[in-house]
Amino acid sequence: MSRLLGRLGGAAAAHPWRTLAAWLVALVAATGLSLAAGGTPHDDYDVPGIPSQAGKDFLAEHLPDLAGAGARVVVHGERPVPPDLLATLDERLAAMPHVSHVAPARVSADGDTALIEVGYRVPVTDFSGSEGVDALTEATAPARAAGLTVAFGGEMPENVSAPSGVAEAAGIVAALVILLAGLGSLVAAGLPLLVAMTGLGVGTAIVTLLAGVIEISTIAPTIATMVGLGVGIDYALFLVSRHVEALRAGLPPREAAAHATATAGTSVLMAGLTVLVSLFGLHLSTLPVYASFAYATFATVGAVMIASVTLVPAMLGLAGRRVLPRRERLGLTRPARRTSRTARWAEWVGRRPKRSALVAVVVLLALAAPMLGMRTWPQDAGTQPESKTTRVAYDLVAEEFGPGANGPVVLAMRAELAGRVTAALGGQPGIRAVSPPVTRGEATVITVEPATGPQDERTTELVRRLRATLPDGVMVTGVVAVFGDISDRLAERLWVVVAFVVVLSLLLLTVMFRAPVVALKAAVMNLLSVAAAYGVITVVFQTDAGAALVGLPHGASVSTWVPVLMFAVLFGLSMDYEVFLLSRIREDFLATGDARGSVIRGLTSTGRVISSAAAIMVAVFVGFALDPDVTVKTTGVGMAAAVLIDATLVRLVLVPATMALLGRANWWIPRWLGRVLPDVRHHDALPTKSVHKESALIQK
């Protein structure tokens, strides 16, 4: 593989303008196609097999007017809301497109707040962009003209996603600063950013095209951008760094580009493949929204990975020696020994492997401990920033009508059951109000308003109790029931996803390095990193003090979408640094046979660039923590914490400590397995070492 990549990198460096033109054509074509045939992201919360889905399907069949999307209009003022204004709003809201019904306004006890429920004939996925919210804004203009506060809540307004671009900009600026500090050349620093943005542009266009033919979640493009930007810059950085090494060793620029692609390029492909394989685990969640995360991130990571091994060598060929600092190009200074601290650290850890490993494991377990108290709940308006209209509506409803008004429970049933159900509800605790039955034909709907809010555990318990005590044939659904069922499903499927990702990554690493011990050790370390990240987000988002640090008004449950998504993505990203580091260690070991020395030299040669790459990744993810969407914010914080933990405690302590303890056993492989596995080289070809000679060296 390294020889093939070396020829590819050499050809790109020899013909840079052709390569650049090909990527420009690809970018323009993909963008044009996405504008012509692309779609708009939508959330799909239909999950076959969960209890609430049966109720949704029943409503769609028997009461279609009540089965579509819903919206809430909250009107608030300092004095009672005029009845004639409410009548005007009812008429204007009923005239909006897709509206099936507008419920009579519910007025608070003091009269200063009115709640109007709007039902649509179509599901939320039929609304394009801000179409629905724009219609609500126009219809409620008279209320604002009268000096009243108008806020929108419910399924349809909460489904509108409006990326601000602040997260991407913050990450890019921080990455440029880190690259300049690490590489010392504006050309070298700008090159990874340019390559990552090009690959990201193509990947984003592909995601838009996918949204035209399948359901892509509103959050999926943002998550894909977050991951794609981080890995794209990192992959390009590793190639540029290896190229700079080759230049300093005396190779001409084109040969240096070919060498970098043959060596670091192999690691890029292996690391990218690990990320892509990990994303497949999201399909096992059985939720369509997770499948869309996988599709979007797969497309983006794939695009930046291909851009790295083709566009980077082309631009390096054009840049020549300008990737070196100016004083070094002019011969005024020699490259400094910047990795001596890493070497001394590796030596120190290598002399105290047991103590170092023990301290690192204890710290990781301490960071992971809070995850035992993690509570999860799908994101709703109650966790959104106070500046958003959906949060304003949520707070007004909770204050004026009670917290349970934000999460009514819907009971769907055959009409003959209505009397028994109404009687049974009378003695149920935790219920604030029960609406009169709505019967159409043979179907009846009863709406139950809990005494507690949607995220309160007592509300979830009420849903379970209703399912257990109401007569057979009563289907409990509604937003609260759906979210509770999704949380339960994800809790069940998390371990399936974990097992799938770990086993596949274990197999892939074994093939890459022909070292099952190293592969198993890497999997365990990555599990510790992810567990520690779970502990961090639990502390940050479930406590008031932690929530204040990320701009949230109070602590709340961790978004249900985050743990499974974080695991699949983080396990792949953690393997990136593992692949880059182990590739250099294995390269040195096969050349020298010195197990301990290869760890020190491998860590020394990659320590600085891995630290820079991790700093870039952390900066990108922290930038996304500025996103107003709580799911994106939580994912950004969690992934930043995981990468920081992985690049410090794991790479700088656990890896050298455990490899020092195991010595040659790191590279042990059964003879029969050595004959079966392919020889995937991460370095220049070693003509004097066949696969069997290499196996003999490892067996010594």
Instruction: Give per-residue pLDDT as tens, 331-349.
Output: 656 555 554 677 788 888 8
Q: pLDDT by residue (tens digit) across 666-697?
A: 888 888 888 887 766 555 433 333 333 433 43
pLDDT, position 412: 94
Domain 340-385+483-700 has CATH 1.20.1640.10: yes
Band (pLDDT 50/70/90 cuts) for residue 698 is very low
What is the distance of C-alpha 517 from the center of its chain? 29
- Tokens for 519, please give them: 């592969």
Mean pLDDT score of the chain:
85
Q: In which element (H, E) is residue 415 found?
A: none
- Kindly tell me if the per-residue pLDDT of 700 is higher than 70: no
pLDDT, position 587: 81
Tell me the CA distances in angstroms from 58 to 261, 322, 414, 425, 602, one per residue in order: 57, 67, 10, 21, 62
Beta-carbon contacts of residue 627 (< 8 Å; ≥ 6 apart) = 163, 164, 166, 167, 222, 633, 636
pLDDT, position 693: 40
Torsion of CA 30, 35, 38, 39, to 10 degrees: 150
Nearest to 623 by CA among 631, 633, 615: 633
Ramachandran class of 498: left when φ > 0, alpha when ψ lies in -120 to 50, beta otherwise: alpha
- Tokens for 280, please give them: 């497949």
Nearest to 444 by CA among 426, 421, 472: 421
Beta-carbon contacts of residue 22 (< 8 Å; ≥ 6 apart) = none
- Kindly tell me if the per-residue pLDDT of 271 is higher than 50: yes
374, exposed or middle or buried, with CB in 10 Å at 0-12, 13-18, 19+?
middle
pLDDT, position 681: 58
- Kindly tell me if the per-residue pLDDT of 21 is higher than 70: yes
Q: pLDDT by residue (tens digit) across 158-186?
A: 876 555 556 667 667 777 888 787 777 78
Instruction: Give the chain's radius of gyration (CA, Å).
Output: 29
**Residue whose pair of structure tokens reads 């349970």 in the numeric block:** 404
| pLDDT mean over 120-141 | 84
Whether the model pTM is above 0.95? no
Nearest to 376 by CA among 558, 538, 541, 535: 558
Band (pLDDT 50/70/90 cuts) for residue 362 is very high
CA distance 210 to 231: 21
For the ranges 86-90, 378-382, 573-577, 656-660, the maximum mean pLDDT occurs at 86-90
pLDDT, position 690: 35
Asked whether the CA dihedral 497, 217, 277, 266 is positive or negative, the reply is negative
The number of beta carbons lying within 10 Å of the beta carbon of residue 165 is 9
pLDDT, position 340: 62
Superfamily of segment(s) 1-37+167-336: Multidrug efflux transporter AcrB transmembrane domain (1.20.1640.10)
Q: pLDDT by residue (tens digit) across 529-560?
A: 999 999 999 999 999 898 888 888 778 888 88
What is the CATH architecture of 70-158? Answer: 2-Layer Sandwich (3.30)
CA distance 97 to 90: 14
CA distance 41 to 209: 10
| pLDDT mean over 323-333 | 71
Output 21 or 509, whichever has higher pLDDT. Answer: 21
pLDDT, position 334: 59
Indicate where the chain has its CATH 1.20.1640.10 domain(s). 1-37+167-336, 340-385+483-700
- Kindly tell me if the per-residue pLDDT of 151 is higher than 80: yes
Nearest to 172 by CA among 154, 152, 192: 192
Output 309 or 627, whichever has higher pLDDT. Answer: 309
The number of beta carbons lying within 10 Å of the beta carbon of residue 696 is 13
| pLDDT mean over 283-310 | 89
CA distance 375 to 491: 11
Pairing of strands 431-434, 443-450: antiparallel
pLDDT, position 680: 62
- Kindly tell me if the per-residue pLDDT of 408 is higher than 60: yes
Strand partners, 153: 72
Band (pLDDT 50/70/90 cuts) for residue 152 is very high
- Tokens for 324, please give them: 């070196």
Output 347 or 403, whichever has higher pLDDT. Answer: 403
Strand partners, 100: none
Of 147-156, 194-203, 240-249, the one with minimum mean pLDDT is 240-249
CA distance 564 to 570: 10
| pLDDT mean over 69-74 | 90
Q: pLDDT by residue (tens digit) across 581-611?
A: 888 888 888 888 888 788 888 888 787 788 8
Output 647 or 202, whichever has higher pLDDT. Answer: 202
CA distance 204 to 107: 45
Indicate where the chain has its CATH 3.30.70.3400 domain(s). 70-158
Strand partners, 71: 118
pLDDT, position 337: 52
CA distance 264 to 2: 9
pLDDT, position 291: 84
